[in-house]
């Protein structure tokens, strides 16, 4: 199941659904690594947004703290990423020139994405306990952001829409991580570094918010 999205979008690419990037990198690798990093982003946000409502019965029956609910999402996302990444390592046998030490950066990059996703998702989960439609909205946005995250190639930043898309966190994380791992394109790390700093700030703020909102959340879940 974790590999199904990679297989699906590569099948669509084989059928000619997506345009060529023209950067010399095999299209299959661009899509495979792009979707792998994007799913880390989307799964961590969507999973954390819905985790309190999803584990409502466990929290009420066992007195489970809310923090382990988020930890379970982190483990689930890491497991899915590990399965996809191992499958890509096997697939890279057919693209030996991209089998470099840069691949070792992939888990570190995935962890930085998870920190951002968990921070945003944990804050949204507080509001999702009161407004359940928020979860559906987040899931919808995660689906459409897939096509504006650079998964299928770089986006022209000279257009009005392109300027907006290229500053989205999903686009920065996906394109930077893929460029590092595959070792292509000139990498502008300043945007990524700023985003990592913001991620840690958001993480601290999310923990503070969770601590202060814990009693309200637990009372509402009963």
Using one digit for the tens of pLDDT, what is the confidence trace for 40-98? Answer: 999 999 999 988 888 777 777 777 778 888 999 999 999 999 999 999 998 888 888 88
Range of the domain at 134: 4-221
DSSP-derived 3-state class of residue 150? coil
Q: What is the pLDDT of residues 138-150, one digit of tens each?
A: 999 999 999 889 8
Cβ atoms of 217 and 129 within 8 Å: the answer is yes
pTM of the model: 0.87
User: How many domains does one find in the chain?
Assistant: 1
Contact criterion met (CB below 8 Å) for 218 and 59:
yes
- Could you give the CA distance from residue 14 to residue 125 in angstroms, rounded to a whole number? 38
């Amino acid at each position: 199941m974790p590999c199904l999205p990679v297989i699906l979008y590569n099948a669509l690419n084989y059928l000619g659904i997506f345009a060529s990037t023209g950067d010399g990198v095999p299209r299959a690798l661009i899509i495979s690594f792009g979707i792998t990093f994007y799913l880390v982003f989307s799964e961590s946000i969507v999973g954390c947004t819905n985790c309190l409502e999803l584990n409502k019965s466990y929290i009420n029956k066992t007195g489970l703290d809310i923090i382990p609910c988020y930890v379970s999402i982190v483990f689930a996302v890491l497991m899915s990423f590990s399965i996809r990444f191992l499958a890509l390592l096997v697939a890279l046998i057919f693209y030996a020139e991209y089998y470099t030490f840069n691949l070792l950066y992939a888990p570190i990059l995935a962890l930085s994405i998870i920190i951002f996703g968990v921070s945003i998702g944990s804050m949204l989960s507080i509001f999702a306990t009161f407004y359940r439609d928020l979860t559906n909205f987040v899931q919808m946005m995660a689906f459409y952001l897939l096509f504006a995250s650079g998964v299928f190639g770089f986006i022209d930043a000279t257009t009005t829409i392109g300027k907006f898309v290229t500053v989205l966190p999903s686009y920065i994380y996906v394109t930077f991580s893929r460029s590092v791992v595959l070792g292509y394109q000139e990498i502008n790390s300043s945007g990524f570094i700023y985003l990592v700093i913001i991620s840690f700030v958001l993480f601290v703020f999310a923990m503070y918010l969770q601590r202060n909102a814990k009693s309200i959340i637990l009372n509402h879940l009963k």
